[in-house]
Amino acid sequence: MQATACAHSNIALIKYWGNRDHALRLPANPSLSMNLGGLFTRTTVRFRDDLTADQAVVDDQLLHGAALARVSAHLDYARRLAGCTLRAEVISHNNFPAGAGIASSASAFAALSLAAATALGLQLSERELSTYARLGSGSAARSVPNGFVVWHAGSDHASSYAESIAPADHWLLVDLVAIISAAHKAVGSTEGHRLAESSPFQAARVATAPARLAECVQAVLSRDFERLARLVELDSDMMHAVMQTSTPPLLYWLPPTLAVMQRVRALRAEGVGVCYTIDAGANVHCLCLPSAVARVRAELLAIEGVGAVREASTGGGAWLESVQR
Amino acid sequence: MQATACAHSNIALIKYWGNRDHALRLPANPSLSMNLGGLFTRTTVRFRDDLTADQAVVDDQLLHGAALARVSAHLDYARRLAGCTLRAEVISHNNFPAGAGIASSASAFAALSLAAATALGLQLSERELSTYARLGSGSAARSVPNGFVVWHAGSDHASSYAESIAPADHWLLVDLVAIISAAHKAVGSTEGHRLAESSPFQAARVATAPARLAECVQAVLSRDFERLARLVELDSDMMHAVMQTSTPPLLYWLPPTLAVMQRVRALRAEGVGVCYTIDAGANVHCLCLPSAVARVRAELLAIEGVGAVREASTGGGAWLESVQR
């Protein structure tokens, strides 16, 4: 009873921040993302009759305490569905650094969900798998389907799921991630989502998100980069405005973050196909048209404080690598 | 018919951004400021019968075009009140650099208003002088009264004026201005105010401003620095969030701006009495308790990108230096 599954990280074009239900991770607003081909988590789940507790190893580190409990609670959901009481061994690897602006929890919980469900012989639809992944980490719902993905906010567990609006090969975009800081972020997303409501701007952000999302979906479907760029930057700036005006304030940007944002804006003003978006961290995702990649990479590496540039391009949905039952 | 008047610049603790009436500069929300003793404009106005047009020299530069027209239109208001048609010569000096985060238009139009009204023999009350100054530059209304000043938003010309809530000697605070960039800002405040409404956050900022202002007035009256600090930073961050999410976006911060913000937060967490606030520019005003000044100045000068630290402390209202009639 073992399966190995992989899932890409994803970058939100229209952001998720704040929940209407924290326990179920029902988001305050719908979101839109692009899977990041090349940045993924590979996870093996093996249910064993010789274990008295779940074990999990992430990037060669044994998990303990709250981190292990989060994985174990996630496995419980699949065990309940399968009527199984066996404990499991979980081995997971990210091919990118965790906790620094690239959403490792998204790819990790998407891969874990697919591996656990498969190891237990559950026949989940993509939609069901997406709702399952969401319970572990909201944005993991979006790492299940292919390419460009909308996560419907929904009103209960079954209605809050993600689905593809266009496959990965619809539009090749490149994400050059300017790595500013590999330091683990001070306030994680799960805790941050709880602070969203304390910002005087969260209600306006949530109320206007569906309209931004609808326009951004159109920009993706019509491959209109200029329109996409404007919306993606506005939505990122709006999320960070909410973060920065919450109580306590969350200021994830570092000085080089701002330098990259300004360089990206200046490049686009020159006609270079690039825009920025920033998750709950200091790194800057620079979405590029393929024609702009070489120029943008060189420009990013020339900015003081940018330690490295990581590259990904539009990626597919979660996939199974092996099954032994 | 000549008068010389001076007025301090001021720093807003609760910010003004956006107008309900652009022509009259009736602000979208009330604001609260502290005059900056030590940073002032000195302006001489001389009405002469040998001039066919107004002349103005600011920091030894002759004004032309729109800048001269703005001064001339401001003089017209006083001329109408006085029934005078003489043209004037205006000589003005700032003792700080213009257009880089220290509000030179506030001190300049406050000093100009007092000098022009006095030269023409008008007997204006402080309230009338404040409304007059407001027509030239909104925040100039606040440079007329003494010390800590509330500018009532009002609903028409006569009701939109500033008044002192506490004199300068009520509370000695020191403003250490971290000078990041002496470059003139790309988008001036008059133009920026017109963009405020395009931000999805402006309505929420305006709606919640009176409550922040009332709490901040209490913090000033009770000399409660910790409460002041929290409100001042939140209000500054809210204004910049509106700026950054307007269309087009206004991103006044530069990388060192962010470095200063973070250093100030870290210092306060250590118990140092300092908070930041930022106007429409890259410079950071670091408001300090007197006991914190030496430490904060040293910390600011150690930050890369901080070119200089300018110092001011709670200042009085506009004053007359000389009159010849």
Q: How confident is the model at residue B184 (pLDDT cuts 50, 70, 90)?
A: low
Q: How far is residue B251 from each of residues A258, A304, A316, B247, B248, measured CA to CA in Å? A: 9, 19, 35, 11, 10
Instruction: Give chain A positions within 8 Å (CB) of B200.
Output: 204-205, 208, 238
Residue A165 has pLDDT above 90, yes or no: yes
Main-chain dihedrals φ then ψ at residue A85, nearest 5 degrees: -115, 5
User: At B309, which amino acid appears?
Assistant: V
Q: Give residue ranges of A with CB < 8 Å to any B CB.
A: 200-201, 203-205, 208, 233-234, 237-238, 241, 244-245, 247, 249, 251, 253-259, 261-262, 265, 305
Main-chain dihedrals φ then ψ at residue B177, nearest 5 degrees: -95, 110
Cβ(A178)–Cβ(A303) below 8 Å? yes
The bridge status of strand B148-151 relative to strand A87-94 is unpaired
Report pLDDT for B46: 98
Residue of A nearest to B304 (CA): A255
- Structure token digits, residue A265: 């804006």
Cβ(B116)–Cβ(B100) below 8 Å? no
Report pLDDT for B99: 52
Question: Who among B204, B241, B257 is closest to A203 (CB)?
Answer: B204
Q: How many CB atoms lie within 10 A of CB B161?
A: 24
Size of interface A-B (CB pairs under 8 A): 69
pTM equals: 0.91
Report pLDDT for A182: 58
Place of tokens 């709006």: A238
CA gap A16, A5 in Å, rounded: 25
Average pLDDT value for chain B:
95
Q: What's the Rg (C-alpha) of chain B?
A: 19
Q: Is the dihedral of CA B201, B206, B210, B212 positive or negative?
A: positive
List, for residues A270-289, the tens digit of each pLDDT value: 999 999 999 988 999 999 99
Report pLDDT for B189: 79
- Structure token digits, residue A113: 């969900």
- Structure token digits, residue A313: 């391009």
Superfamily of structural domain A174-314: GHMP kinase, C-terminal domain (3.30.70.890)
Place of tokens 């406050």: B110
Cβ(A85)–Cβ(A49) below 8 Å? no
Report pLDDT for A185: 60
Report pLDDT for B320: 97
What contacts A41, CB < 8 A, 6 or more positions away? A6, A7, A9, A92, A93, A94, A95, A104, A107, A108, A110, A111
List, for residues B212-233, the tens digit of each pLDDT value: 999 999 999 999 999 999 999 9
Q: Give residue ranges of B with CB < 8 Å to any A CB.
A: 200-201, 203-205, 208, 233-234, 237-238, 241, 244-245, 247, 249, 251, 253-259, 261-262, 265, 305
Q: Which residues pair with B310 in a beta bridge?
A: B177
Q: Give the closest-approach CA distance of B28 to chain A in angstroms.
A: 17
Least confident of A47-51, A185-189, A206-210: A185-189
Q: How many CB atoms lie within 10 A of CB B36?
A: 26
- Structure token digits, residue B197: 């409404």
Per-position DSSP letters for A28-71, written without gaps between them:
SS-EEEEEEEEEEEEEEEEEETT-SS-EEEETTEE--HHHHHHH
Residue of B nearest to A244 (CA): B237
Burial of B147 by CB count in 10 Å (0-12 exposed, 13-18 middle, 19+ buried)?
buried
Of A17, A94, A58, which is closest to residue A312 (Cα–Cα)?
A: A94
Residue A184 has pLDDT above 80, yes or no: no
Report pLDDT for A98: 63
Question: Do the chains contact at B258 and A261, CB–CB below 8 Å?
Answer: no
Question: Do the chains contact at B238 and A245, CB–CB below 8 Å?
Answer: yes
Three-state helix/strand/coil letters over A146-209: CCEEEECCCCCHHHCCEEEEECHHHCCCEEEEEECCCCCCCCCHHHHHHHHHHCCCHHHHHHHH
Query: Which H or E element spans position B163?
Result: strand B162-166
Q: What is this model's ipTM?
A: 0.86
Q: Give, as one character, the DSSP assignment of residue A167.
A: -
Residue A252 has pLDDT above 60, yes or no: yes
Report pLDDT for A77: 98
Residue of B nearest to A236 (CA): B245
CA gap B14, B30 in Å, rounded: 8
Work out the average pLDDT over B159-185.
90
Work out the average pLDDT over B241-269.
96
Q: Which residues pair with A15 in a beta bridge?
A: none
Instruction: Give chain A positions within 8 Å (CB) of B257.
Output: 258
Is the peptide bond preceding residue B248 cis, with omega within 30 degrees of 0? yes
Work out the average pLDDT over A158-176.
98
Q: Which residues pair with A2 in a beta bridge?
A: A46, A324
CATH topology of domain A2-169: Ribosomal Protein S5; domain 2 (3.30.230)
Residue of B nearest to A259 (CA): B255
Q: How confident is the model at residue B325 (pLDDT cuts 50, 70, 90)?
A: confident
Residue A189 has pLDDT above 90, yes or no: no
Least confident of A191-195, A311-315, B208-212: A191-195
CA gap A211, A235 in Å, rounded: 11
Residue ranges of the domains in chain A? Answer: 2-169, 174-314
- Interface mutation target, options B237, B238, B276, chain A, most CBs of A under 10 Å: B237
Report pLDDT for A104: 86
What contacts B214, CB < 8 A, 6 or more positions away? none
* Cβ density class A33-55: b for 16+ within 10 Å, e for less: bbbbbbbbbbbbbbbeeeeeebb
List, for residues B85-132, the tens digit of each pLDDT value: 999 999 999 998 765 557 689 999 999 999 999 999 999 999 999 999
CA gap A39, A176 in Å, rounded: 12
CA gap B297, B281 in Å, rounded: 20
- Structure token digits, residue A97: 């650094």
Q: Give the closest-approach CA distance of B303 to chain A in angstroms.
A: 11
Of A230, A133, A173, A169, which is closest to residue B245 (Cα–Cα)?
A: A230
3-class SS of residue A80: helix
Percent of chain B whose predicted confidence (pLDDT) is above 90: 91
Is the peptide bond preceding residue A210 cis, with omega within 30 degrees of 0? no
- Interface mutation target, options A181, A201, A205, chain B, most CBs of B under 10 Å: A201
List, in sequence order, the alpha helices (H) in A54-195. 65-82, 104-119, 126-136, 189-195
List, for residues A85-132, the tens digit of each pLDDT value: 999 999 999 998 765 557 689 999 999 999 999 999 999 999 999 999
Angle between helices A202-221 and B202-221 (to 10 degrees): 150
Work out the average pLDDT over B299-319.
95
Report pLDDT for A173: 98
Report pLDDT for A302: 96
The bridge status of strand A19-21 relative to strand A2-14 is unpaired
Q: How many CB atoms lie within 10 A of CB B113?
A: 35
Of B165, B182, B190, B166, which is closest to residue B96 (Cα–Cα)?
A: B182
Question: Do the chains contact at B256 and A255, CB–CB below 8 Å?
Answer: yes
3-class SS of residue B106: helix
CA gap B110, B6 in Å, rounded: 8
Q: How many CB atoms lie within 10 A of CB A319?
A: 13
Report pLDDT for A3: 98
Question: Do the chains contact at B203 and A204, CB–CB below 8 Å?
Answer: yes
* Cβ density class A219-239: b for 16+ within 10 Å, e for less: bbeeeebeebbbbbbbbbbbb
